[in-house]
Amino acid sequence: MGLVNEFIDRAEENGTSTELVRSEEEAGRRVVELAGAAAVTRWDDQIVAGLDLAETSPEKAELSLVVASYGIAPSGSLVLVHGAGRSAGAALLPPRQIVLLSSVAIVKNLIDALLPIYSDSDAIPANIVIVTGPSRTRDIGLVPVIGVHAPKELHVIVISAQV
């Protein structure tokens, strides 16, 4: 639980909102609640594929629904691995994003997430994004503004059977 708590604390610090649930079913219910009537785009992962949601294209969607392969505890970061049924556009275009993360996928540092992925040279994903909080800029008069091109609102649902 130590890593989960560290992940949640650091995520909140970098502007990611978080919640902890006990099961995939509960996660599914929460997603439907949070989505409301918003038009959604989602990855093909089984945990989100079956949910009853109003679906549309990535360009038109207000909310994206993706599944993280890893969480990195010390920075509250999410590792999103793109691929078939997990498009880059779906994870990038909508301004709001909900990410599902299994607690057993939370690791203690960056290299622990990268080595398993990059050691298997036959199956290296073409595009992986490590996301740490919502997009931001200080380019205008050095005033911090949250929300530029990547999602403006980032919400993580951590699924832990041990809660």
Q: Does 94 help bind another protein (rule: CB under 8 A)?
A: no
String of DSSP letters for 74-98: GGTEEEEE-BTTB-HHHHHSSSEEE
Q: Does 133 help bind another protein (rule: CB under 8 A)?
A: yes
Span interacting with another protein, options 27-35, 40-48, 99-107, 130-138, rule CB under 8 A? 130-138
Contact 92, 82 (CB under 8 A): no
Please name every residue paired with 81 in a beta bridge, in sequence order, or none if there are none.
128
Span interacting with another protein, options 28-36, 40-48, 98-106, 109-117, rule CB under 8 A? 109-117
Q: Specify the residue, 77 or 103, whose C-beta has the smaller distance to another protein.
A: 77
Among 11, 131, 157, 158, binds another protein (CB under 8 A): 131
Q: Specify the residue, 23 or 118, whose C-beta has the smaller distance to another protein.
A: 118
Please name every residue paired with 77 in a beta bridge, in sequence order, or none if there are none.
72
Q: Specify the residue, 28 or 134, whose C-beta has the smaller distance to another protein.
A: 134
Contact 101, 81 (CB under 8 A): no
Calpha distance 104→101 (Å, rounded): 9
